[in-house]
Amino acid sequence: MSTPTRGRIVKILQGSPVRWVVNLGAEHIAAGDELVIFEVGDEILDPTDGTSLGELELVKCHAIVDHVQDRLSVVSRKGASHEVAPQPRVLSAVLADTGPAAREGGRPDNATIHVGDAVRKL
């Protein structure tokens, strides 16, 4: 089994929705491909024999390739063009979603995409 090609976010394109430029081009991906954007975490070792199992991928989001050029591509968050505007909510509900309890429940604090974040095709 071959190792998947890994790229990086090289530029953030502001707009609605936000899109990102990745350093993977036509040789590696095609329009419509699904990618995962992630931060590289710690190396994980098998506790029984110490063998490296690889680096943990801390997934920030799934993305879709919108446009491919020879050496770069433009991607957007999966489903971003079809997202429905959120319904207005009372302030207490918003605060409940963003407080410490929400983060402890598995919501990542680092879900913001940054230049340098890793990308690979699913």
**Model confidence pLDDT, tens digit, residues 6-31:** 999 999 998 888 999 999 999 999 99
* Residue 117 in domain: yes
Q: Is residue 1 part of a domain?
A: no
Using an 8 Å Cβ cutoff, are 63 and 18 in contact? no
Q: What is the DSSP letter of 2?
A: P
- The predicted structure's pLDDT at residue 111: 75
15 domain residue, yes or no: yes
- Global pTM reads 0.70
For 60, the domain range is 6-121
Contacts of 46 (CB under 8 A, 6+ apart): 52, 53
52 within domain boundaries: yes
Split into its structural domains, the chain has a count of 1
Q: What CATH number is attached to the domain comprising 44?
A: 2.40.10.410
